[in-house]
Amino acid sequence: MSQDDMARALRKAGDEAGEPNDANKRLVQRWEGGTTRVPRPVYVRALEKVTGLPIESLGFALSVMARVRDDGAGGHDVTPGADGVAAASGDAESAARTTGRAHYAGVWLSRYEFYSSGRGQTHTGAHYVVLVQHGDRLTGRSLPGASSHPDSPLSLDLTVDGNVVTGTWVEQTATGDYYAGARYHGALQLLAEPTGRRMAGKWVGFGKDFDVNTGPWELIFKDASTSKETVGRYSRRPE
């Protein structure tokens, strides 16, 4: 994306979330150049939506950023921590105690099964994904190089209602892979276990002959931290 493209995407994300912002090319330049090292909360939320990554992974000066606090209104604000240092945005247990709502931000292993009619076999697709939570909305993106099939990025857009997680998925296959760069998408229905450490359910999507298929899908919690170090550790092919 160009700097103009990024600014437009940030304004669109703000409008869609009901939080308009004034992102422009100059602001993006200040972020990239390090002139502005701490974005305002409205831009934090827009950046996470556009990039699909937690703010901790985007290179800002977290040592002077504030603690992420759920405001109970479908978003979060940045407020100072007791020590003035940002906390990891994925402490599920403390978030649940504070807000009464399960918190799923962090690194997860996504794993699904599908039947390949062309090969006559059942296969497993796996990705390490980062989930970002805004209230009852979850946005997931696979990490670079973190898929069982090379260059096969996965994105998730989910809504949490109690222990029911519903939404959509999109996977872009690699041009050199068996599926020759085809883009697949569909719906997803999961049930979250009471521990908040596993979600399991079913996917539905279409095949190459435009028949409707389905199969099992699960998300397994790996790490509440979304720091640059943690993201780097999981930016690899799942075992």
Structural domains of the chain, ranges and CATH numbers in brackets: 3-87 (no CATH), 106-233 (2.40.128)
Please give the structure tokens belonging to residue 82: 């007791």
Q: Mean pLDDT over residues 175-185, rounded?
A: 72
| pLDDT value of residue 88 | 36
Residue 92 confidence class, pLDDT cut points 50, 70, 90: very low
At residue 165, the pLDDT reads 96
pLDDT digits (tens, 9 = 90+) for 135-162: 888 999 999 888 887 778 899 999 999 9
| Closest CA relative to residue 159, chosen from 184, 133, 141 | 133
Q: Which of 4-18, 35-49, 71-85 has maximum average pLDDT? A: 4-18
Instruction: Give the pLDDT confidence score for residue 108 in this predicted structure.
Output: 96
Kindly give the interhelix angle for 3-16 and 41-51, rounded to the nearest 10 degrees: 110
147-151: long-range contacts (C-beta < 8 A, 24 or more apart)? 147/237, 147/238, 148/124, 148/237, 148/238, 149/125, 149/173, 149/174, 149/177, 150/174, 150/176, 150/177, 150/237, 151/175, 151/176, 151/177
